[in-house]
Amino acid sequence: MTRKPTIPCLRLALSLLIALTLTACGARRTERVILPADFKGPKELSRLYGVRLTPDDNIFLYNAGAHWLGVPHRMGGLTKRGVDCSGFVQIIYREIYGKRLERTAADMLKKNCKRVGRGRLREGDLVFFRTGRSRTPNHVGIYLKNGRFIHTSTSRGVMVSSLSEPYYTRTWLTGGRVK
């Protein structure tokens, strides 16, 4: 005489079968991300940048920028011993977004970006300025949030500034969304 399986046993067997099917098919994989030992958390980054970071913010962008803060300006430089504004933007964009940008601010705007107005800037957009007598952009930074951007200043190196500072209001040219 054979016994029929009970309802609870059938439910358990069905649940196990569904779970095995989902994991075997890789319906949702969670990759383990290994963070470098010097990775900074949201609280420390919020303090460094003067903005409150949320889960919607690209913490990798903020972290990469934080490792460059204070690096001196060096025209044509591409290292932590010295970097210029377009070199800094180029390095961060390659590292964080995997995109190769042109080497000068003017070429970045012309070949890599679609212009966006100041009021439509999003995290990661580029911000362009025209200083001195230049007719084309000769300074570039990366927009963060709340009017703040990271860039390389000739006098203070890599730093965070506000678009509302009089100098940046006066020299503002446009924003650029990288294509």
Catalytic sites, residue numbers: 85, 139, 151
3-state DSSP of the chain? CCCCCCHHHHHHHHHHHHHHHHHHHCCCCCCCCCCCCCCCCHHHHHHHHCCCCCCCCCHHHHHHHHCCCCCCECCCCEECCEECHHHHHHHHHHHHHCCCCCCCHHHHHHHHEEEECHHHCCCCCEEEECCCCCCCCCEEEEEEECCEEEEEECCCEEEEEECCCHHHHHHEEEEEEEC
- Tally of residues, the chain: 179
What span, in angstroms and rounded, lies between the C-alpha atoms of 24 and 126? 43
